[in-house]
Amino acid sequence: MTAPTLTLTSGTTIPALGLGTWPMDDADVATAVETAIGAGYRLIDTAENYGNEAGVGEGVRRSGIDRGEVFLTTKFNEKWHSYDGVRRAFEASAARLGVEYIDLFLAHWPRPAFGGFVDAVRGLVALREEGLIRAVGVSNFKPAHLQAVLDSGLVPDVNQIKRDPRNPRRAELAFHAEHGILTEAYTPLGKAGDLLAEPAITQAAQAHGRTPAQVVLRWHTQTGALPIPKSADPGRIAENITIFDFELTSEEIAGIDALDSGDADVADSDVVGH
């Protein structure tokens, strides 16, 4: 199954679900990416920090798909947080991936103590204007970090944050929506722990003849986020994208919404990151 597309604020289209690739190494990720593309995935998420961009590029090439058919996302670390640094980060990531352009390039963490994230976004916008990247992204940015970017007249296309039914991040999603920023959800399955045994999820799964993971991923897409589940298993890779042919009811969504722990289990991006 292929995911439908969404349109980003800058006009670029993006598949509505992607494959996460951390912590796969180059060899494992090449196999997973080739499998995922065969299963219909068109969005792959990687990062400089994962050390597997070369494997992602290899998987895309092995799949035989045209470069233009796949939406490649990668992220750069704090050491590149300056206007010119972002260009060098782009050149390094593009070389490892073996591509001429990157679809979505993200500042992986804001690292406010370093003081360069606004300049980094400015550098990303310049790369987008030159056609070297198609969309501008950030990750783990709090609304306050985004506000500093917005105050500089810059609007990222995407903020990738941790999100699952116990951590629905409603305030962040509302802020993103207000400013035309798409929310990507990382760790969307809560790492497939006991979340998947929650009755609100298993009951919906039973009602639709689906798995709990499919229900959680469908919840993400029906509540305004783009999930990037990681799997290295061919069966689960296919399972995770087969979610666009059923619809959760508003009662089922409300039941899953009620799993909100009220105390987001999220790393403090004023302090941690890379």
Ligand X SMILES: O=C(O)C(=O)[C@@H](O)[C@H](O)C(=O)CO
Ligand Y SMILES: NC(=O)C1=CN([C@@H]2O[C@H](COP(=O)(O)OP(=O)(O)OC[C@H]3O[C@@H](n4cnc5c(N)ncnc54)[C@H](OP(=O)(O)O)[C@@H]3O)[C@@H](O)[C@H]2O)C=CC1
Enumerate the active-site residues. Answer: 50
Total residues belonging to the chain: 274
Q: By CB under 6 A, tell whether 40 contacts ligand Y.
A: no
- The entry of ligand X, ligand Y, none near residue 231 (CB within 5 to 8 angstroms by kind) is ligand Y
Q: Compare residues 82 and 140 and give the one whose CB is closer to ligand X.
A: 140
Q: Compare residues 8 and 47 and give the one whose CB is closer to ligand X.
A: 47
Q: Which residue in this structure is represented by tokens 């990303």?
A: 124
Beta-strand relationship, 158-162 and 182-186: parallel
- The entry of ligand Y, ligand X, none near residue 223 (CB within 5 to 8 angstroms by kind) is none
The answer to whether 127 and 105 have CB atoms below 8 angstroms apart is yes
The answer to whether 230 and 20 have CB atoms below 8 angstroms apart is yes
Region from 15-23, 117-125, 218-226, 253-261 binding ligand Y, contact rule CB under 6 A: 15-23
Which residues share a beta bridge with 200?
none
Pick from 141, 211, 158: which is nearest to 15 by CA? Answer: 158
Report the amino acid identity of residue 137: G
- The entry of ligand X, ligand Y, none near residue 20 (CB within 5 to 8 angstroms by kind) is ligand Y
- The entry of ligand X, ligand Y, none near residue 114 (CB within 5 to 8 angstroms by kind) is none
Q: How far is the CB of 139 from ligand X (least distance, A)?
A: 7
How far apart CA 2 and CA 71 sit, in angstroms, is: 13
How far apart CA 191 and CA 170 sit, in angstroms, is: 20
Q: Compare residues 22 and 101 and give the one whose CB is closer to ligand X.
A: 22
Q: By CB under 6 A, tell whether 77 contacts ligand X.
A: no
Q: How far is the CB of 18 from ligand X (least distance, A)?
A: 13
Q: By CB under 6 A, tell whether 53 contacts ligand Y.
A: no
How far apart CA 232 and CA 248 sit, in angstroms, is: 26
Separation of first and last alpha carbons in the chain: 35
Return residues touching ligand X (CB under 6 A). Answer: 22, 47, 49-50, 108
Binding-site ranges for ligand Y (CB under 6 A): 20-22, 45, 108, 139-140, 160, 186-192, 211, 213, 228-233, 236, 239-240
